[in-house]
Amino acid sequence: MSTNHPAARSAASATPITSITLADVPALAAGCAIFGTGGGGAVQTPQLGVEIALERFGPVPVKQVADLDADDVVVAMSGIGAPSVGFEMLGASGQAEIIVEEIERLTGKRITTIMATEIGGSNGVGPVGWAASLGLSILDADGMGRAFPEAPMTAMNVANLPPGYAVLSDVIGNVSILRPVSLAWLERHARALTVASGAISIGANYVMDRDTVRGAVIEGSVSRAVQVGRRLLTATDPVGALTDELGASLITGGKVVDIERRTEGGFTRGSVTVEGIGEHRGRLTRVEIQNENLVVMEDGAVIVSVPDLVTIVDSETGDAISTEMLRFGQRVSVLAWACDPLWRTERGLELAGPRAFGYDLDYEPFGMSADETIGATR
């Protein structure tokens, strides 16, 4: 199993896809789950929703950023809230569609394209179904290149795009229109509304044209997710194929011995402890969670931290296991790899580095020099 890779490939290295067909959905879902880093919601149920939508409405066109026309209008959309609620309280029929309708009414613009705010987890999968039912395209890009728990943690915010309007809808049918002064205030207000709505809602913000999109999103993420998913689904050594495809390192492999998980303030928070088995016997590794896997600790030391990616996969099948699906006794492998370079910039780290999550620690980039340190401790 390969553990020593210089750096992650950029999302743009995947061969661009031009549409998502019914046959592409399993690979898209498997790939999004990997980029979910434990969050973004489990993909199984939204995958089913997308399959039903594509059966009914046909394939969804995928647009490259470079191919956007002058009259194209893009909106970024995602679910917000606690994944440990999302897999129990499923969405209402038409809950996403009403948001697009409301944004068009507010802005007077006709939306042509939906972009997943985050490619990770169900939030990379669900928008394809919404686009199908609305007859819209999907942009081959996202705002994170992974999943993050909070609204300010987007490439659009790194690029200082103004927040504009945000629209939220919940399972009851309530629609809320916000005009926040900043992404930090959007997070505070949207989170409060989401908690009131039962800790899960769907939201949209950033109405963008082709000029504002450029340089403000992470391109190629949809194609990349499909590529990673295809590689995973056809692999005979899935964990090895993943480390190779992602340029990831195997942090540990073992058995889940504890999952501390609670729904709190509109997030799923907690930690998971993995007891090493096989070549990792004797090690106890803890992954700290706020929707996503944020920090990996062992013997009091930080091994990997956000914004680098940490995903827990089934040791046998390589399937990513999102936070709410973790269960006592599962045999898992913990993988880590380098984030998009965007997140290693000063502004990127300010928005999504360890301190943005309340950890009093300096970010150490994982994947290059750090990789050797990890290798040496094993």
Partner 1 sequence: MSAGTSTVTDTSGELAIGIDVGGTNTDAVALSGTGEVVSWTKQPTTRDVTGGIRAALAEVLDQLGDDRGLVTRVMLGTTHATNAIVNRRDLGRVVVIRLGSPAATSLPPLAGWPRELRDVVLAGSILAGGGHLVDGYPIAPLDRDLIRRELDALAGTFDAVAVCGIFSPSFPEQELEVEALVQDHVGVDIPVSLSHEIGALGLLERENATVLNASLYAVARDVTNALTTVVAEERLDATTYFAQNDGTLMAVEYAARYPVLTIGSGPANSIRGAAFLSGADNAIIIDVGGTTSDLGVLVDRFPRESTLPREVGGVRTNFRMPDILSVGLGGGTIVDTATGVPRHDSVGYRLTEEALLFGGTTPTLTDAASLQFGIADRELPPLDRATRQALEHALGVAHERIESAVERMSLGRTGLPLVVVGGGGFLVPDAVLGASEVLRPARGNVANAVGAAIALAGGRSDQLCDFADRAAAIEEAGRSAIEKAIQAGADPRSVEIVDVLETPVSYATRPTLKVSVKAAGPLARIGTATRQRI
Which one of 17-25, 211-219, 261-269, 351-359 is the stretch in contact with partner 1 (CB under 8 A)?
Answer: 261-269
Nearest approach, Cβ of residue 361 and partner 1 (Å): 25
User: Would you count residue 173 as binding partner 1 (CB under 8 A)?
Assistant: yes
Least Å distance, CB 332 to partner 1, is: 7
Q: How far is the CB of 279 from partner 1 (least distance, A)?
A: 12
> Cβ(308)–Cβ(145) under 8 Å?
no
CA distance 117 to 143: 5
Residue 262 interacts with partner 1 (CB under 8 A)? yes
Q: Which region, judged by CB under 8 A, interacts with partner 1, from 2-10, 192-200, 217-225, 369-377?
A: 192-200
Q: Tell me which amino acid residue 88 is.
A: E
**Of 237, 224, 247, nearest in space to 336 by CA:** 247
Selected binder of partner 1 within 218, 226, 304, 332 (CB under 8 A):
332
122 is a contact residue toward partner 1 (CB under 8 A): no
Q: Judged by CB under 8 A, which of 179, 327, 347, 378 binds partner 1?
A: 327
Instruction: Select the residue interacting with partner 1 from 16, 22, 51, 284 (CB under 8 A).
Output: 51
- Considering the complex, state which of residue 166 and residue 332 has its C-beta at the smaller distance from partner 1: 332
Q: Work out whether 314 is an interface residue with partner 1 (CB under 8 A).
A: yes
Q: Which stretch binds partner 1 (CB under 8 A): 15-23, 136-144, 179-187, 232-240?
A: 232-240
Q: Minimal distance in Å, beta carbon 174 to partner 1? A: 10
Q: Which of 191, 231, 261, 280 binds partner 1 (CB under 8 A)?
A: 261
Nearest approach, Cβ of residue 187 and partner 1 (Å): 20
How many angstroms separate the CA atoms of 317 and 290, rounded?
Answer: 25
Question: Residue 265, interface with partner 1 (CB under 8 A)?
Answer: no
Q: Site for partner 1 (CB under 8 A): which residue of 36, 38, 40, 49?
A: 49
Site for partner 1, rule CB under 8 A: 44-45, 48-49, 51-52, 82, 84-85, 87-93, 95, 171-173, 197-199, 236-240, 259-264, 314, 316-317, 319, 321, 324-325, 327-332
